[in-house]
Structure 1
Amino acid sequence: MGSQILTLADVWPDDPRAMIVGLNPAPESVAAGHYYQGRAGRGQLLKLADTGLFPRPSGPHFEGVALASGVGFTDIVKRPSVGEGDVTKEEIRYGSAQLADKLGSAGMGLVICVFRHPVRALLGTDTGPGLQPTITSWGGRVFRMPGPYDKRENVQRVLQQLSSIVSAL
């Protein structure tokens, strides 16, 4: 939005299969220089690895294994903050429009949201965990991960759906 800030660089695969989209980076992730360094975020990425989207990394960072599998990372709002309550509606509107243009230009067919907030920002609606029925403005699909503390049976059901999607990519 015209201000210089320290944030995470987008990770764009050369041959994209999917993009993991967050609302905005956490300060601890920006300090580490890697996406999803918090406990909940790392747990969500391990679940994604278990669906076959990319292999589990040997260390704490996921970008390398994800990128090698055609999966990238980005955020709607680039400004780091502790929580979604610190992000303004104006930032979300601006970031969503910018990101939709980038994702559309890349022909991104699958967007995976680790948490719920980016789904509403990209689609204007959220029907809960799983593949969203609404198609993006560029013709892509959005998948919302179950919450990090969701019931085990819900997590298994939703991740099985993603495993089926991933195997068809």
Structure 2
Amino acid sequence: MPFEPQPYLSGALVDVRPLRAEDFADLYAVASDPLIWEQHPARDRHRKDEFTRFFREALDSRGALAVIDRREGRLIGSSRYHGYDSDRGEVEIGWTFLARSHWGGAYNSELKRLMLQHAFRFVGTVVFLVGPDNIRSRRAVERIGGVLSGTWADGDGVESLLYRIDSRSCVPSWSPSPRSPSSSV
């Protein structure tokens, strides 16, 4: 079975679905907060021109996901699967951001739990690339079981810390809860 990079997932707090072009305005309303990006290597992503580039790349990736607050029914952020490698048995989860109103752990933890559950149906390892100065994201990845495994540099020489989570180290009670593509989110 091939990896599905844009699943429909549902938890107690969030629904996750493929990101769509019509999500731009709602997602930019979240992303326009400069404090979301203050520790991120792309600190200007709150600017509309920078976010437009990011959003276009997200859609082109065919792995971008919208994160919806179930109680409020509104878009609160996004995440993405990237770099699926069947030979290595790994995929990356990244580009995650949530509205500051949803910071504090519960929403991000559930989002990552849902994404990990889905990924581990296809791979044995999930990787996260985090900017060295992004203390919030480093702590969040460590809280969900990420183990610092080294560094990685992109084609422009921008260095990231490489975290890994192995399927064998995850809580066994985690089980996938995908929603069918016909379900409304």
Same fold (TM over 0.5): no
**Per residue, is there more helix in 1 or in 2?**
1
TM-score when normalising by structure 2: 0.35
TM-score using structure 1 length: 0.37
Who wins on radius of gyration, i.e. which is larger? Answer: 2
